[in-house]
């Protein structure tokens, strides 16, 4: 459905945001993982017709996005990472306003769509309040509602669960999965858990390049038997860290837990069941090492 | 703490680009005012760098410095709450009083530093003007430190403190820059209105103290100063001025202390009420989740989107504080001439529609320019500013929907101002018993002659915003355009073809209506209208879509966004623009003569240099006139023949006569017995007539003056207002060639004369000079004559009008 080839973008200030990105994304949920500044938002914006590229092309279901952005916009839903709203406009009015812009012209259809989306995002009871006065989580839900207007075939959501409480996050995930079967949904995030829970396909983007692409389960399986962990004190961890291929360091109950990627267990380490986070961190580690070398 | 914060503010602003931009602005304004004699603030003939001129300039700039104070002091007052720093700062152990006081005085100090550029501008400007010849050496005096220091310390330092205290309080109270700017505009206008209203003997004693800038006391103090006083007297801080300054400094400090909220740490936000969801709503929501269908986008429908967007944008403009305030102020300025209508010679004008429309058109000056500049920036960048940009830009909406709805909103709001003005004037008319409302005139003159150029100006403002990378650049470009078109006249670009959206003037009178003036206006409207259409279509095709699309990227999508229809319209409009432009050029510069005021002055100078020596040369005096004039009012043409008898009242024979040609004449001739025209000098509007046999004193001869006057095409300015379709009012010296040196062609301005090496004009002839004893006020060789005139004219015209 969506195919991206050789996409490159360099900003005026010299930042290489995207360097030859190739991706082919079919129907269903697709997770795009990457650290801050990896180029995720640049890529999302470029697909969402908001930004041009220096090279490369994007096509969606036969639409050349750069040549005919208007055609894509009709089938697109986009939730940017960061957005604001017009002040002093109620949730219902604003969503109705956006529904007209989205191309839902029949009044009755629009009413049904708007009310339904407000209900789905649990905002129905707040519909007559100004969105500008919403809390962060409520505003994020409003953003989700507007992205779903017009039943888009391509849904791009950039950090959608930021600021949502666990209950709302689950509700949103369920909504996404129920939608995901008929459309292309690109979920861009730096939260590995979100991708692990939702996406049958994923890619890791860092430094403007795709480092890894595939099915999360398959990718995780590849690492099985190579991840080792050990709990220790902070001082100990500091000592060990430069000597071992440490992919992550986290705290649990006040102790530092090191995850190490190696063929053989280092001394004192126990085998650990590999998860997507290990995949992600090991990918980033390899990338960093290759850059140093 | 106090000094730390003071130093912090200083350092902070010195790193801001606005510090340098504003300093340069003030410097160059002072520089240019002082470098030529075009704006003699101290009065004519006073040194541009005299203590008095510096003082007046300082006061004038203090009024403008309101915006300077807003930029520094007010922004410093609300910077913490705007950048959400306040919670960080006040969770530290700081005493708010020295903290806030230090910041206030730091910002005030920055204002004072910026204001130093004003005396510096005068100093360098006047010297520059002298060295490049813009200023006569008589207009530049010696420089003394105290000339510059006294106004700075006595006027600027206290006045700026008062302003700082005022705007600090406004900022602290309202917490948005917008409100402070609005307050500044209101105070600025209120000050202008008040100083006009109180400019009367009865208020003199109050104004001396009440003027926050001290202008009232200064005017009072220097009322009877001579030019020499103004050039040398240094202001002293005493008497009323001292009282005024002390009064306002105390008032300012009191305001700072009492209204500055100095001890406040932070303003707690109101807690929101807990909100209980009713079961009905819960059930409804559950029902909606299971039943509501999410409909597919039906794609672009420009019309319904346009209607909704326009109403939305209009609401956003009208219900914004600045618009309401600017609208209120412009209506107030409209009401002043309505309720105190002063016409010529202090008599009251009747409330006829022609006058009312003039009053309404009067508001269309700087005010509307400010509204257009401000709101075009707000509107074009609203989506970016509100954070909705990324979402809305990815919607299936054509660029033109954004562009049209936004410009419609602004145009409707501006039209609303005119409509309110109209309602006001019509109410006044009805109250005063003027029931002939002439609504057609209201409509045509306001919509076509006032509003349409404003709409084109709005299109231009939008276009400049669209091609700019941010709204400040866009606003800067628009202001730059405004300044350029104001100063370009003096560089020879006077023709209306260089002045976007401007037409040649259409004077309206109840007798003549719009007359023939409308024809030219139509062509200019077509010319600028076509260009506006091009700017409109290219403008929306280049509309900002996405957060950081450079102009180059947007240009690459130009044709896609224009669509074929747009491209056709752009091409046709461009052709119409060129065609109308050619027609205007042909009419105003080929069929008719176009002279810039500089070129005309050069002609005046050469005329005087060449012919002033003949100013006392005796000329024939006409004694008998038998005049026949054929007037063709519809064609705006006439031909006139005057059979004359003339004589020589001087003591010497007359052998040569200098003749000046009549204005607007297609052809003219002078025949006098015994001579003929030997040389025509059309460039100098004159000719030489020579008698083969000189006209002896008291000899009577016969002759004939003839003129045909007709008009082809139209002119850019100076159209003939004497001979119009609906009546002709013409003097003998306007109609016919005149004898003798024409003093009306002399350059009158003293400094312009000196620039062109012309001697000073004599105000009157010397009392001892007996040759003028027999001359009347009308000049040489005038006296009582025998006069007979036959006017022949269109029958219907003569009897119906």
A103, B546: Cβ pair inside 8 Å? no
Q: Which residue has the tokens 């160059």?
A: B28
Q: What pLDDT, on a 0 to 100 scale, did the predictor assign at position B795?
A: 63
Task: Catalogue the long-range contacts made by B144-148 (C-beta closer than 8 Å, 24 or more residues apart).
Answer: B144/B51, B144/B234, B146/B51, B146/B234, B147/B49, B147/B50, B147/B51, B147/B54, B147/B234, B148/B54, B148/B119, B148/B122, B148/B123
Q: What pLDDT, on a 0 to 100 scale, did the predictor assign at position B523?
A: 96
| For chain B, percent of residues with pLDDT exceeding 90 | 35
Q: How far is B77 from chain A (nearest CA, A)?
A: 24
Is residue B265 scored above 70 in pLDDT? Answer: no
Return the higher-pLDDT residue of B447 and B214. B447
Judge contact between B637 and B709, C-beta under 8 A. yes
B305, A101: Cβ pair inside 8 Å? yes
Is residue A293 scored above 70 in pLDDT? Answer: no
Residues comprising chain B, all counted: 801
B286, A151: Cβ pair inside 8 Å? no
Residue A80 pLDDT class (50, 70, 90 cuts): very high
Q: What CA–CA distance (Å, rounded) separates A241 from A247?
A: 10
| For chain B, percent of residues with pLDDT exceeding 70 | 94
B387, A84: Cβ pair inside 8 Å? yes
Is residue B800 scored above 50 in pLDDT? Answer: no
Closest A-chain CA to B294:
A113
Is residue B524 scored above 90 in pLDDT? Answer: yes
Return the higher-pLDDT residue of B574 and A120. B574
Closest B-chain CA to A53:
B553
Judge contact between B33 and B211, C-beta under 8 A. no
Beta bridge partners of B704: B643, B671
Judge contact between B320 and B179, C-beta under 8 A. no
Q: What CA–CA distance (Å, rounded) separates B95 from B103?
A: 13
- Give the helix, strand, coil percentages of chain B, each rounded to 5: 60, 10, 30
Within 8 A of A76 by CB-CB distance, chain B residues are: 394, 396
Is residue B546 scored above 90 in pLDDT? Answer: no
A163 backbone φψ class: left, alpha, beta (φ>0; ψ -120 to 50): left
Closest A-chain CA to B306:
A101
Q: How far is B391 from chain A (nearest CA, A)?
A: 7
Residues comprising chain A, all counted: 293
Q: What pLDDT, on a 0 to 100 scale, did the predictor assign at position B39?
A: 76
Closest A-chain CA to B545:
A50
Is residue B476 scored above 90 in pLDDT? Answer: no
B387, A83: Cβ pair inside 8 Å? yes
Which residue from A69, A100, A151 is facing B294, i.e. has the nearest CB?
A151
DSSP track, B476-525: HHHHHHHHHHHHGGGGT--SGGGSTT-------BTTTBTTTHHHHHHHHH
Instruction: Retrieve residue B733's tokens.
Output: 């010296």
Q: What CA–CA distance (Å, rounded) separates B493 from B500?
A: 12
What average pLDDT does range B257-277 have in this prediction?
66
Q: Output phi, psi for B714, to 5 deg.
A: -135, 165
Q: What pLDDT, on a 0 to 100 scale, did the predictor assign at position B339?
A: 65
Judge contact between A62 and A213, C-beta under 8 A. no
DSSP A53: -
Q: Which site among B276, B288, B395, B405 would you substitute to test the A interface, given the most A Cβ atoms closer than 10 Å to its Cβ? A: B395
Residue B598 pLDDT class (50, 70, 90 cuts): confident
Instruction: Retrieve residue B569's tokens.
Output: 């319209």
In this complex, is the C-beta atom of A251 within 8 Å of any C-beta atom belonging to chain B? no
Q: How far is A274 from chain B (nearest CA, A)?
A: 38
In this complex, is the C-beta atom of A196 within 8 Å of any C-beta atom belonging to chain B? no
Within 8 A of B557 by CB-CB distance, chain A residues are: 69
Q: By three-state DSSP, how is residue B769 classified?
A: coil
Within 8 A of B391 by CB-CB distance, chain A residues are: 78-80, 83, 98, 143, 146
A86, B547: Cβ pair inside 8 Å? no
Burial (CB count within 10 angstroms: exposed 0-12, middle 13-18, buried 19+), residue B588: buried
What average pLDDT does range B178-190 have in this prediction?
76
Q: How far is B398 from chain A (nearest CA, A)?
A: 8
Return the higher-pLDDT residue of B785 and B37. B785
In this complex, is the C-beta atom of A124 within 8 Å of any C-beta atom belonging to chain B? yes
Within 8 A of B545 by CB-CB distance, chain A residues are: 49-50, 69
Beta strands A2-10 and A55-60 are antiparallel
Q: What is the dihedral of CA B398, B399, B400, B402, to 10 degrees?
A: 110
Which residue from B288, B299, B557 is facing A103, i.e. has the nearest CB?
B299
In this complex, is the C-beta atom of A151 within 8 Å of any C-beta atom belonging to chain B? yes
Quote the strand ranges of chain A, DSSP E: 2-10, 16-25, 28-33, 55-60, 63-64, 76-79, 154-158, 184-189, 201-206, 209-214, 227-232, 246-252, 255-261, 270-271
What average pLDDT does range A135-154 have in this prediction?
91
Which residue from A51, A86, A103 is facing B301, i.e. has the nearest CB?
A103
| For chain A, percent of residues with pLDDT exceeding 70 | 100
In this complex, is the C-beta atom of A70 within 8 Å of any C-beta atom belonging to chain B? yes
Q: Which residue has the tokens 């004693």?
A: B205
DSSP track, B345-382: GGPPPP--HHHHHHHHHHTTTHHHHHHHHHHHHHHHTH
Within 8 A of B304 by CB-CB distance, chain A residues are: 100, 105
Beta bridge partners of A258: A230, A249
Instruction: Retrieve residue B712's tokens.
Output: 């082809």
Task: Give me the helices (H) in A53-191, please.
Answer: 69-73, 91-102, 107-120, 136-147, 166-180
What average pLDDT does range A50-61 have in this prediction?
92
pLDDT digits (tens, 9 = 90+) for B739-772: 999 888 898 887 788 888 888 887 788 888 887 8
Q: Which residue has the tokens 């961190």?
A: A281
Q: What CA–CA distance (Å, rounded) separates B403 from B530?
A: 18
Q: Which residue has the tokens 């320019």?
A: B369
For the ranges A105-114, A261-270, B342-351, which has the lowest average pLDDT? B342-351
Q: What pLDDT, on a 0 to 100 scale, did the predictor assign at position A162?
A: 78
CB pairs under 8 A between A and B: 151
DSSP track, B770-785: GGGTT-BTTBTT----
Instruction: Retrieve residue B791's tokens.
Output: 């006017």
Which residue from B296, B387, B548 is facing A150, i.e. has the nearest CB?
B296
Is residue B152 scored above 70 in pLDDT? Answer: yes
Q: What CA–CA distance (Å, rounded) separates B229 from B225?
A: 5
Within 8 A of B291 by CB-CB distance, chain A residues are: 116
Instruction: Retrieve residue B149's tokens.
Output: 């220091």
Q: What is the dihedral of CA B572, B574, B576, B577, to 10 degrees?
A: 170
Residue B241 pLDDT class (50, 70, 90 cuts): confident
Which residue from A12, A80, A148 is facing B391, i.e. has the nearest CB?
A80
Task: Catalogue the long-range contacts made by A84-88 (C-beta closer than 8 Å, 24 or more residues apart).
Answer: A84/A132, A84/B386, A84/B387, A84/B388, A85/A131, A85/A132, A85/A139, A85/A142, A85/B386, A85/B387, A85/B388, A86/A131, A86/A132, A86/B316, A86/B382, A86/B386, A86/B388, A87/A130, A87/A132, A87/B386, A88/A130, A88/A132
For the ranges B172-186, B303-317, B535-549, B611-625, which has the lowest average pLDDT? B172-186
pLDDT digits (tens, 9 = 90+) for A168-209: 888 888 888 887 778 999 999 888 988 988 899 999 999 899
Instruction: Retrieve residue B41's tokens.
Output: 């603030």
pLDDT digits (tens, 9 = 90+) for A235-285: 888 888 888 888 888 888 888 888 888 888 888 888 988 889 889 998 888
Q: Which site among B396, B400, B547 would you substitute to test the A interface, given the most A Cβ atoms closer than 10 Å to its Cβ? A: B396
Judge contact between B286 and A64, C-beta under 8 A. no
If one counts every other C-beta atom within 10 angstroms of the C-beta of residue B384, the result is: 19
For the ranges A45-59, B688-702, B786-800, which has the lowest average pLDDT? B786-800
In this complex, is the C-beta atom of A50 within 8 Å of any C-beta atom belonging to chain B? yes
Most confident of A58-72, B284-298, B366-380: A58-72
Return the higher-pLDDT residue of B285 and B785. B785
Q: What CA–CA distance (Å, rounded) separates A146 from A153?
A: 14
Is residue A149 scored above 80 in pLDDT? Answer: yes
Is residue B344 scored above 80 in pLDDT? Answer: no
In this complex, is the C-beta atom of A82 within 8 Å of any C-beta atom belonging to chain B? yes
If one counts every other C-beta atom within 10 angstroms of the C-beta of residue B131, the result is: 11
CA quadruple B311, B313, B314, B320: dihedral positive or negative? Answer: positive
Judge contact between B518 and B734, C-beta under 8 A. no
Q: What pLDDT, on a 0 to 100 scale, did the predictor assign at position B328?
A: 73
Instruction: Retrieve residue A30's tokens.
Output: 């697709």
Instruction: Retrieve residue A58's tokens.
Output: 């994007």
Q: Output phi, psi for A86, to 5 deg.
A: -65, 140
What average pLDDT does range B408-433 have in this prediction?
90
pLDDT digits (tens, 9 = 90+) for A213-240: 999 999 999 888 889 998 888 888 888 8
Which residue from B293, B393, B397 is facing A116, i.e. has the nearest CB?
B293
pTM of the model: 0.81
């Amino acid at each position: 459905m969506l195919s991206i080839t050789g996409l490159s973008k360099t900003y005026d200030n010299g930042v290489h945001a995207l360097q030859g990105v190739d991706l082919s994304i079919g129907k269903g949920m697709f997770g795009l993982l990457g650290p801050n500044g990896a180029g995720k938002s640049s890529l999302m914006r470029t697909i969402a017709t908001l930004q041009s590229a220096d090279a490369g092309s994007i096509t969606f279901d036969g639409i050349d996005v750069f040549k005919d952005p208007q055609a894509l916009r009709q089938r697109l839903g986009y939730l940017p990472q960061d957005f604001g709203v017009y002040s002093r406009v109620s949730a219902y009015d604003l969503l109705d306003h956006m529904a007209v812009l989205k191309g839902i012209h029949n009044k009755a259809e629009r009413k049904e769509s708007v009310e339904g989306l407000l209900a789905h995002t649990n905002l129905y009871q707040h519909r007559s309040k100004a969105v500008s006065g919403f809390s962060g989580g409520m505003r994020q839900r409003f953003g989700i509602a507007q992205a779903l207007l017009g039943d888009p075939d391509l849904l791009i959501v950039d950090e959608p669960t930021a600021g949502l409480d666990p209950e709302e996050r689950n509700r949103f995930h369920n909504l996404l999965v129920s939608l995901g079967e008929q459309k292309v949904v690109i979920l861009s995030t730096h939260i590995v858990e979100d991708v692990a829970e939702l996406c049958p396909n994923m890619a890791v983007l860092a430094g403007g390049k795709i480092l890894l692409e595939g099915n999360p389960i398959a990718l995780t399986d590849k690492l099985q038997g190579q991840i080792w962990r050990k709990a220790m004190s902070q001082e100990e961890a500091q000592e060990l860290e430069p000597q071992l291929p440490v992919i992550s360091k986290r705290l649990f109950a006040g102790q530092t837990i090191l995850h190490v990627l190696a063929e053989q267990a280092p001394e004192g380490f126990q085998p650990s069941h590999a998860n997507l986070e290990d995949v992600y961190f090991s990918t980033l580690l390899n990338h960093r090492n290759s850059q140093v070398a | 703490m106090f000094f730390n914060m003071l130093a912090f503010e200083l350092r902070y602003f010195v790193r801001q680009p606005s510090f340098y931009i504003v300093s340069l602005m003030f410097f160059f304004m002072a520089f240019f005012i002082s470098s030529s004699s075009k704006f003699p603030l101290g009065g004519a003939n006073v040194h541009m760098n005299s203590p008095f001129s510096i003082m007046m300039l300082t006061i004038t700039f203090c009024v403008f410095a309101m915006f300077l104070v807003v930029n520094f002091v007010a922004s410093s007052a609300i910077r913490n709450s705007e950048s959400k720093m306040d919670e960080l700062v006040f969770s530290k152990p700081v005493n708010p009083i020295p903290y806030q006081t230090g910041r206030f005085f730091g910002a005030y100090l920055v204002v004072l530093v910026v204001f130093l550029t004003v005396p510096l501008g005068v100093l360098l400007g006047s010297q520059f003007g002298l060295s490049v010849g813009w200023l006569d050496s008589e207009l530049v005096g010696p420089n003394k430190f105290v000339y510059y220091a006294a106004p700075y310390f006595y006027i600027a330092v206290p006045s700026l403190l008062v302003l700082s205290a005022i705007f600090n309080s406004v900022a602290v109270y309202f917490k948005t820059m917008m409100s402070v700017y609005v307050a500044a505009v209101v105070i600025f206008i209120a000050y202008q209105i008040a100083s006009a209203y109180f400019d009367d003997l009865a208020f003199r004693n109050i104004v001396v103290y009440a003027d926050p800038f001290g202008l009232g006391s200064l005017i009072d103090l220097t009322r009877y100063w001579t030019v020499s006083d103004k050039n040398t007297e240094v202001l002293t801080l005493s008497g009323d001025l001292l009282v005024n300054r002390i009064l306002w400094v105390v008032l300012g400090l009191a305001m700072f202390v009492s209204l500055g909220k100095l001890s406040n740490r932070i303003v707690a936000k109101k807690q929101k009420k807990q909100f209980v969801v009713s079961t009905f709503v819960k059930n409804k929501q559950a029902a909606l989740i299971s039943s509501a269908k999410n409909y597919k986008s039906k794609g672009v429908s420009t019309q319904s989107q346009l209607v909704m967007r326009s109403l939305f944008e209009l609401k956003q403009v009208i219900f914004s504080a600045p618009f309401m305030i600017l609208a209120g102020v412009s209506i107030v300025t409209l009401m002043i001439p309505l309720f105190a209508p002063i016409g010529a010679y202090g008599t009251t004008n009747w409330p006829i529609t022609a006058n009312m429309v003039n009053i309404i058109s009067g508001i269309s000056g700087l005010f509307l320019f400010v509204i257009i500049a401000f709101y075009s920036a707000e509107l074009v960048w609203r989506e970016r500013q509100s954070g909705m940009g990324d979402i809305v830009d990815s919607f299936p909406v054509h660029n033109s929907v954004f562009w049209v709805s936004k410009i419609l909103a602004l145009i409707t709001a501006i039209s609303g101002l005119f409509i309110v003005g109209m309602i006001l004037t019509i109410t006044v008319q009805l109250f005063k018993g003027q029931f002939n409302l002439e609504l057609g005139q209201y409509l045509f003159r306001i919509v076509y002659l006032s509003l349409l150029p404003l709409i084109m100006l709005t299109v231009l403002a939008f276009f400049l915003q669209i091609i700019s990378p941010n709204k400040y650049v866009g606003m800067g470009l628009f202001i730059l355009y405004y300044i350029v078109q104001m100063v370009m006249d003096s560089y020879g670009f006077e023709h209306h073809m260089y002045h976007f959206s401007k037409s040649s003037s259409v004077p309206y009178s109840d007798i003549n209506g719009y007359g023939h003036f409308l024809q030219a206006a139509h062509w200019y409207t077509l010319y600028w209208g076509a260009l506006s259409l091009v700017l409109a279509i290219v403008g929306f095709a280049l509309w900002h879509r996405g957060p950081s699309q450079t102009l180059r990227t947007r240009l690459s999508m130009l044709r896609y966004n224009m669509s074929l229809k747009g491209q056709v319209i752009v091409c046709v409009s461009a052709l119409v623009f060129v065609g109308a432009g050619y027609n205007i050029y042909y009419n105003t510069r080929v069929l008719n003569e176009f002279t810039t005021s500089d070129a005309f002055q050069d002609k005046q100078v050469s005329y005087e240099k060449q012919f002033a020596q003949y100013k006392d040369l005796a000329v024939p005096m006409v004694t008998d006139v038998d005049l026949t004039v054929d007037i063709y009012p519809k064609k705006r043409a006439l031909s006139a023949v005057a059979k004359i008898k003339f004589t020589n009242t001087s003591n010497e024979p007359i052998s040569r006569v200098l003749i000046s040609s009549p204005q607007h004449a297609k052809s003219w001739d002078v025949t006098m017995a015994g001579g003929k025209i030997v040389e025509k000098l059309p460039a100098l509007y004159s000719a030489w007539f020579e008698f083969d046999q000189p006209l002896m004193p008291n000899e009577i001869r016969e002759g004939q003056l003839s003129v045909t006057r007709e008009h082809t095409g139209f002119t850019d300015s100076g159209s003939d207002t004497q001979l119009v379709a609906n009546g002709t009012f013409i003097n003998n010296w306007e109609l016919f060639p005149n004898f003798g040196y024409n003093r009306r062609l002399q350059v009158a301005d003293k400094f312009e004369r000196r620039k062109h090496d012309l001697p000073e004009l004599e105000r009157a002839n010397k009392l001892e000079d007996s040759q003028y004893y027999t001359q009347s006020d009308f000049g040489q060789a005038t006296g009582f004559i025998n006069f007979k005139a036959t006017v022949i004219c269109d029958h219907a015209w003569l009897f119906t009008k």
